[in-house]
């Protein structure tokens, strides 16, 4: 498996993996995700309510995002293991 194949695998996993989530961070606390929505459904609608500081956010500049892919690492690891034999 070359790097390109790995990238294709990751891309297809991201689009079809139900357990992928888009984590939402608010500027009030960048170390704790304030929310999460399923990946692929776009960005949260504004105004967005932050449960951490209990404020209504009406500007994407106050938000940052991260993607979790909980099962993808396991799948890639299993395939790499197979190729070793």
Chain contacts with Zn ion (rule: CB under 5 A): 26, 28, 50, 52-53
Q: Identify which of residues 26 and 44 has a Cβ nearer to Zn ion in the complex.
A: 26
Q: Which DSSP string do the residues of 57-76 spell out, in sequence order? A: E--GGGEEEEEEETTHHHHH
Q: Identify which of residues 1 and 43 has a Cβ nearer to Zn ion in the complex.
A: 43
CB of 73 to Zn ion, least distance (A): 29
- Closest C-alpha among 83, 76, 77, 81 to residue 13: 76
Contact 50, 36 (CB under 8 A): no
Q: Identify which of residues 22 and 26 has a Cβ nearer to Zn ion in the complex.
A: 26
CB of 38 to Zn ion, least distance (A): 21
């Amino acid at each position: 498996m070359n790097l390109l194949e790995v990238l294709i695998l990751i891309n297809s996993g991201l689009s079809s993996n139900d357990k992928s989530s888009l984590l939402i961070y608010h500027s009030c606390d960048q170390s704790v995700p304030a929310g999460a929505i399923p990946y692929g459904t776009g960005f949260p609608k504004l105004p967005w309510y932050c449960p951490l500081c209990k404020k209504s956010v009406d500007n994407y500049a106050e938000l940052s995002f991260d993607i979790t892919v909980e099962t993808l690492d396991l799948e890639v690891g299993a395939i790499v293991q197979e190729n070793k034999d």
